[in-house]
């Protein structure tokens, strides 16, 4: 199983960094990590245009389009399933991906083996899956240090281990995306 695909796009990461430095304001906190939502904020027009373009290219919806700030070297995230996907009122996660744009700092995103009772994102309700991974010590089966825009299969259990801090990334979660990881990469590489 493939868990990620690095993109070859013309997105200007320096522009993401400049906008972060100028306009970052913590809107909300997710699992103890400060986030700044960019949607509906005119000062982030460059990013919001990219978000809309991705939605159009992939013919999908998107949520949680935000900067994420991990301030400290101990801001690791344990193995988990993203429970915030419940915001879409969907029970299953077969059509979810995250796109990460790295800005500064570094961390390893690790993918873990499924819990013995987890039948996967198309058969097990996401709230039940979330419970399986609380305090989990599931083995790591793949990992990546995100150094360029990357699509992640975040519907599978994953964790984050900090390497250098502060770490700033831009996250875009897409759903109702019925393409394979390779197709997403090919479409975004060609048109983004």
- CA-CA distances (angstroms) from residue 155 to 27, 79, 169, 182? 24, 12, 19, 16
pLDDT at site 40? 87
pLDDT at site 92? 62
pLDDT at site 88? 58
pLDDT at site 32? 78
Helix axes 181-191, 45-58, angle to 10 degrees: 130
> How many Cα atoms sit within 13 Å of 184 on the Cβ side?
28
d(CA 70, CA 80): 17
According to CATH, the topology of domain 4-191 is: Jelly Rolls (2.60.120)
d(CA 151, CA 171): 10
d(CA 117, CA 87): 24
Per-residue pLDDT of the chain (192 residues; tens, 9 = 90+): 899 999 999 999 999 999 999 999 998 887 778 999 999 899 999 999 999 999 999 999 988 899 999 999 999 989 988 766 555 566 666 778 999 999 999 999 999 999 999 998 888 887 888 888 888 888 999 999 999 999 998 888 999 999 999 999 999 999 888 899 999 999 999 999
């Amino acid at each position: 199983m493939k868990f990620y695909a690095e993109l070859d796009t013309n997105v200007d990461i320096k522009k993401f960094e400049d906008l972060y430095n100028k306009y970052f304001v913590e809107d909300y906190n997710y699992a103890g990590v400060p986030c700044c939502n960019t949607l509906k904020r005119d000062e982030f027009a460059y990013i919001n245009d990219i978000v809309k373009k991705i939605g159009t290219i992939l013919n999908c919806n998107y949520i949680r389009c935000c900067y994420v700030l991990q301030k400290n070297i101990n801001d690791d995230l344990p193995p988990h399933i993203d429970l915030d996907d419940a915001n879409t009122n969907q029970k299953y996660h077969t059509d979810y991906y995250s796109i990460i744009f790295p800005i500064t700092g570094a961390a390893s995103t690790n993918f873990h083996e499924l819990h013995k009772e987890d039948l996967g994102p198309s058969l097990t309700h996401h709230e039940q899956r979330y419970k399986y991974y609380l305090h989990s010590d599931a083995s790591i089966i793949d990992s990546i240090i995100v150094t360029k825009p990357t699509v992640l299969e975040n519907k599978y259990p994953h964790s984050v281990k900090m390497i250098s801090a502060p770490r700033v990334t831009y996250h875009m979660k897409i759903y109702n995306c019925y393409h394979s990881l390779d197709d997403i990469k090919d479409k975004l590489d060609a048109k983004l």
